[in-house]
Structure 1
C-alpha cells in the first residue's frame, strides 16, 4: 500500500512539473510575441500545440505570428483551426478572410468576410466585398507595367530602391561581410543598411556597397530619398545615436525616425534629427515632391487614423519643417498605409492593406481633382505590380516610364525582393468636334472608333465642350467618325504604329458641316476656270451676277460659303494654292458687286482633293472631264 501511494505521489509530481513546464513555455512564447520576435515565438507556440497545452490559445497566437511574418499560407492554415473553436473571437473571421485573400482564394475570403459582418464585426475601408467585380476588373485591365530583371537582390530582405544620378540606392539586410551578425528578432534577419550601386550594374552588391558616411548604424537604416541637387538625403533609421544609444518607448520598442544628412566630400554626414520625430511613435519612409518643398512620410503619431498614415509637411528654404498635415481620409484608412512616393506629375503613390486590393499590401496611385490639388480617389495599379502578397516601396524615375518596387511574392530570391519595371502608358485618342461654320464646339456628338477592318470597337458622346477621349491600343490603324443630328458626318484615319512609348495622346479634331434644307439652290450654278488660271471668265461673271441678284433681291438674309477646286494635273501643293487663288478671285468679285463680307462665311480652296469624277493622276481623261473639276461651288449656310 505504501508503494502504491508512493507511485501516485510521483505521478502527481511529474504532472505538476509538466504543467509548470508548459506554463513557463507559454509565458516565454508570449514574451517573445510581445517583443515582436515572431520567428522564435512561433516555434514555442508550435511546441505547446504539440503538447496539447492551452491549444486553442496557442493556435490563435501562432496564426497571428505567421500573419505578422506576412506568411498567408501558414497563417490561413492555423486560422482555419481557430475559426472552428467554440468561442473564437469574431475578429479571427476577418483575419482568416485576409489570409485567404493572400492565398488568392478570393471566393472563400468573401465567405468569411460575410460571416465576420454577420457576427457583428465592423468592416473598415478594407471591405473588399464592396466591389464584387474588383478582381475581374484588375486582372482584365490593359497592362501598363512590365517587369524587368534586377540583378542585385539577395536572399535577405531588399526594398526601397530609389534611382538618382545614375545610381540606385536601396535598403537591404544582406550584411554578410561582418564577423558578428546582429539579427532583428521580428524575422531573424540582419538589420537593414543603405546600399548603392550603378544603374544597370550586373555585379552583386556586397557589404562594400554600403553608402559612405554616417547613415548606417547598428540598427535599421533605410529606405532613403535624395534632393534633386544630390546634396541632401532623408532616411529612415531606428531611434538610436552613438551618444544616447538605443531609445525605447513606453512599450519597450525602439521606434523609427527620419534623419537628414548632407553630402560632404563624397560621404553622407552631419546627421540631423528632425522635428517631426518622437520617442513614442514611428516616423519613416521619406519622400520628396518634385521641387523638394514638401516631405511625405509614414507615421503612427497621435492623430493617425489607422495603424499608420501618410503625412506631409512643408520644407522651408532654411530647412525647417512647418505645416504638418495628414493627407486625408481618401488615402488613409483604419488599416496601414505607408511608403509614399511623389512622381514628377505630383501623383502620390503609396502602399496599403486598407484599400481594396489583391492580397496583403498593394500599391495605389492617387487621382487629383480638376480644379485643385485635392485627392479625390485612389486606384489600384493592378498586376503585375500587385500580387496576393506584400507589394510596396514603389518609385518612378523622372522619365515616367521606369522605376522600382518591392514584393515578397512567390518566385523571388529573398524574403523581399526589388523588382524593376518599364511602363507603357495607356494611349488615347482625343479631340474636339466643332461646327465648321461658326467653329463652336458641338456637344453630344456621337464618336465611333473603328479598327482597320472597319469593326466598331468603341463609341461615346462629346461633353459640353465638344471634347472626347478614348483609350486605344498601340501599333494599330484606326478610323474615328463624328456624327450629330443636323450635321454631315466627318471622319479621320490615324495610326498608333511606331510612336514613342512616352506619347500618351493622339489628337484627332473633327469638323461637322450643317445639313441644310436646301444645300445648293438651282440658281447658284458652279462657275468654271481655264486650265492653270484663276481669273473670272465671262461665262463665270454671268453666273456670279445671278448670285449677286439672288442675294440682294430674293434672299437678303442668305449667307453662303465658297469652295474652289482644281483638276488633278500638277502637284498637290501647287493645286492647293491655285484653288485658294480661285476662291479669292470669286470672293473679291462678289464683294466688288456689293455683297457684304459677313454674308460669305468662308472662301476655301481644296485643290484636287474633291474630284467630281475619276480623272485622277495617271487617268486618260478628255479635256471636258478635267474642266468639270476646275470649279467653284456655292454652299448655302443660312437662308433667313
Structure 2
C-alpha cells in the first residue's frame, strides 16, 4: 500500500510538471497543492506553485508561497529575486528592496528593467527569464511603419512613408499619408522609398496593409479601406470600414483582386493571418457578435477558395475592449494584440495556451518585456524558424509614430533522456533523476515514466550534472553543458544506463551445472538442476529473466576452450528453450573458456580432478525477477 501511494504521488508530480510546461498554470497549481498536502517533494512543489501564481498574475498568492520558499534549505537564489518581485506586487516596497539586495549579495545580477520602471508584476517575472531580444531594423521611417511579415527572404510591411511623390494624399486623422504596402529584402540596411511599393494592384489611394501570403507565395490576403473599382463605400455613420481582399501573383505582379465574402459595408474586417497549411483565415473584426471593440475571428478556407464557418474565438481571447493583429506560428500558437487583458500599458501582445488535447485554448499569456512596453505593441509575426520575427510599437526611442522592431528569441531549453537497464536494455520506471548545478547543488528531480523517460527544464549557458538512481541499481551520471549551443536547439539528450547492484544480480540461488571433461553434453545431474530452473521460471517467477555463462577448466588450448565453453552455453540454452522457456527471457548465453576459474587450477598447476570439475560449469545470473 505504501508503494502504491508513493507511485500515485509520483504520477501527480509528473502530471503537474506536464501541465506547467504547457502553460496550464491553474490546473498545475491544483495538483502541486495536492502534493504539498500529501507532504510529497514538498519543497519542490511549493516552488512550482509559487511560480504558477506568479505567471497567473496573482502576486498575493505568489507572495504567500514565495515566503515559504525562501526559508527552504539550499533554495536557488533566483527565488530571493522572485520573492522580491512578489513583495513589490503587493506594494511592500521596502521589504522588496531588502530581498533584492540579498539576491545581489548572494551573487545574483538583476537586469536594467527590474524595479526601475513602472511595470506590473507579471512582466517583471518574465523579465527574469527573458526569452525575447530586440534587433535593429534599418528601414523605419519618420511616419507609421508596422505589420512586417517575412516570406521567402522578403519583408512585406505597411507604411505611410509616401516619400518621393510630388502629390501626397493625407489621412485626416493624423495628417500622414495613407498606408501602402512595401517590400524589402530581409535584413536590408538601405532606405526604403516609394520605389519599393509592392508591384501590382494592391496599393490604392486609401489605406492598404498589412498583408499575409500563402506558403506557396502565390496568394496574398491584405487589409484595405472599403474601396473597390475607384469607389469608396461608407457606412451609415459616414465611416469607411476596412475589408480583407485577396490577390494573386501573376508574372511577378499582384493582381486579380477579390472582395471576400466575410466582409461587410457596416463593419470592419482586417489583419489577415493564415495557419500553417493555409486552410484557416484568422482576422479581427467588429462584426455582429463581437464581444467588445473588435474581436479575433477564424474561418475555413475551402479547396475552391471559398470561405465558410466564420467563428468568434471566444471569451478567453476576446474582451469588451479591442483585440486585433492575430498571427499563427508553425506550432499553432495564436498571438494577438489587446488592450483588454492585463498588460504593461495600452495595447500588449499575448500568446494563447492550449489545453491537454492540444486543440482547445485554455488561457493566454503576456509576452512581457521587451516585446511589450507601456505604450502600444502590436502586429507580432514569427518566421518559420520559430526564432526570429517582428512586431510594431510606438514606444519612446523609435524613429516614427509606429516603428517595426525585429526580435530573436531563446526558446526554453530542457534536458531529456531515457534511463535503461544496462543488461537487458529495458526502460527503468520510477528511477529518480536529479539535476545538479556545477557546484553540485540540487536544482530539481523527477521520476521516470513507464518508458523510462524524463524531461527537466534548464537554463542556457550553464554546466550541469544529471544523476539517475533506483534502489535495485548502481546510480549513473552524466556531466553536460548548455553553453555555446545553437539558439534553435531546445533539447539536450542525456541517456543513462543503470547496472543492477551485486546483491540484486543474484536474486535467486540457482545452482551451477557441471560437465564431463572435453564434453558439452547435459549430464543427468545437470538435467535435474535445469528442470528446477524451468519450474522456477514457469511457475514461481514467470517474469524472471536470466543470462547464462559457461566455462571450462584450464586443460587444452585457449581457443579450444573458448569454443567448448560456447558449446556448453548453447547446450544449456537449448535445454531450457526445449522445455518451455521463452527465448526472450534469456538475455545472453556466452562462453568464457578458462578465463574465469573458480580456484587456482591454472594450466601449470597440479590439481586433483575434483578441482578441475569445479571449473567445468555453467553459471546462471538473474537479471530481473519481476
- TM-score range relative to shorter protein: 0.5 to 0.7
Equivalent position of 1:123 in the other structure: none
Equivalent position of 1:268 in the other structure: 254
Equivalent position of 1:188 in the other structure: 175
Contact 1:536-1:585 at 8 Å conserved across structures: no
1:281 aligns with 2:267: yes
CA gap of 1:251–1:527, structure 2 versus 1, over 3 A, is farther
1:339 counterpart SS class: strand
Contact 2:123-2:366 at 8 Å conserved across structures: no
- The Cα shift of 1:303 comes to 0.4
Contact 1:562-1:600 at 8 Å conserved across structures: no
Q: 1:223 aligns with which of 194, 201, 210?
A: 210
Contact 1:297-1:338 at 8 Å conserved across structures: yes
Q: 2:138 aligns with which of 151, 156, 159?
A: 151
Cα distance in 1 for residues equivalent to 2:389 and 2:518: 66
1:449 aligns with 2:431: no
1:285 counterpart SS class: strand
Equivalent position of 2:184 in the other structure: 197
Listed as ranges, the gaps of 5+ residues in structure 2 are 1-84, 93-118, 552-561, 597-603, 606-614
CA gap of 1:462–1:191, structure 2 versus 1, over 3 A, is same
1:138 aligns with 2:126: yes
Cα distance in 1 for residues equivalent to 2:90 and 2:199: 47
| Aligned residue runs from structure 1 range 21-100, under 5 A | none
CA gap of 1:524–1:371, structure 2 versus 1, over 3 A, is same
Cα distance in 1 for residues equivalent to 2:176 and 2:378: 19
1:589 aligns with 2:572: yes
Cα distance in 2 for residues equivalent to 1:485 and 1:522: 18
Equivalent position of 2:221 in the other structure: 234
The superposition leaves residues 337-367 of structure 1 with CA deviations (integer Å, 9 ceiling, x where unpaired) of 1111112222211112222322222222222
Q: 1:506 aligns with which of 480, 489, 492?
A: 492
Cα distance in 1 for residues equivalent to 2:220 and 2:121: 42
1:551 aligns with 2:533: yes
Cα distance in 2 for residues equivalent to 1:108 and 1:457: 26
- The Cα shift of 1:482 comes to 3.2
- The Cα shift of 1:382 comes to 2.4
Cα distance in 2 for residues equivalent to 1:281 and 1:249: 8
Cα distance in 2 for residues equivalent to 1:554 and 1:343: 58
1:259 counterpart SS class: strand
The superposition leaves residues 386-444 of structure 1 with CA deviations (integer Å, 9 ceiling, x where unpaired) of 22222211111122222111111222111211111222222212235567799886665
Cα distance in 2 for residues equivalent to 1:580 and 1:202: 74
Q: 2:585 aligns with which of 601, 605, 609?
A: 601
Contact 1:312-1:325 at 8 Å conserved across structures: yes
Contact 2:226-2:243 at 8 Å conserved across structures: yes
The superposition leaves residues 120-156 of structure 1 with CA deviations (integer Å, 9 ceiling, x where unpaired) of xxxxxxxxxxx98523321212x32222221101111
Contact 2:148-2:404 at 8 Å conserved across structures: yes
Cα distance in 1 for residues equivalent to 2:194 and 2:148: 17
Listed as ranges, the gaps of 5+ residues in structure 1 are 1-103, 112-130, 529-534, 567-578, 613-622
Cα distance in 2 for residues equivalent to 1:426 and 1:607: 49
1:334 aligns with 2:316: no
The superposition leaves residues 190-233 of structure 1 with CA deviations (integer Å, 9 ceiling, x where unpaired) of 22111111122221001111112221122211101112222221
1:562 aligns with 2:525: no
Equivalent position of 1:426 in the other structure: 412
1:597 counterpart SS class: coil
Cα distance in 2 for residues equivalent to 1:381 and 1:525: 66
Cα distance in 2 for residues equivalent to 1:321 and 1:632: 74
Equivalent position of 1:163 in the other structure: 150
- The Cα shift of 1:485 comes to 5.3
- The Cα shift of 1:302 comes to 0.7
1:200 counterpart SS class: coil
| Aligned residue runs from structure 1 range 110-121, under 5 A | none
Greater C-alpha radius of gyration? 1
Equivalent position of 2:235 in the other structure: 249
1:393 counterpart SS class: strand
Contact 2:460-2:482 at 8 Å conserved across structures: yes
TM-score scaled by length of structure 2: 0.66
1:459 counterpart SS class: strand
- The Cα shift of 1:304 comes to 0.7
After alignment, is 468-477 or 292-301 more displaced?
468-477
Cα distance in 1 for residues equivalent to 2:248 and 2:391: 26
Cα distance in 1 for residues equivalent to 2:590 and 2:333: 46
Cα distance in 1 for residues equivalent to 2:192 and 2:563: 69
1:480 aligns with 2:493: no
CA gap of 1:194–1:527, structure 2 versus 1, over 3 A, is farther
Cα distance in 1 for residues equivalent to 2:525 and 2:124: 67
Cα distance in 1 for residues equivalent to 2:122 and 2:181: 37
Cα distance in 1 for residues equivalent to 2:574 and 2:148: 71
The superposition leaves residues 153-186 of structure 1 with CA deviations (integer Å, 9 ceiling, x where unpaired) of 1111111011112211100111122233333333
> How many residues were matched structurally?
479
Contact 1:476-1:497 at 8 Å conserved across structures: yes
Contact 1:536-1:586 at 8 Å conserved across structures: no
RMSD: 4.4
Cα distance in 1 for residues equivalent to 2:591 and 2:495: 21
Cα distance in 2 for residues equivalent to 1:132 and 1:422: 23
Contact 2:89-2:120 at 8 Å conserved across structures: no
Cα distance in 2 for residues equivalent to 1:230 and 1:552: 68
1:366 counterpart SS class: strand
Cα distance in 2 for residues equivalent to 1:586 and 1:491: 34
Contact 2:270-2:284 at 8 Å conserved across structures: yes
CA gap of 1:456–1:423, structure 2 versus 1, over 3 A, is same
2:434 counterpart SS class: strand
Cα distance in 1 for residues equivalent to 2:499 and 2:512: 20
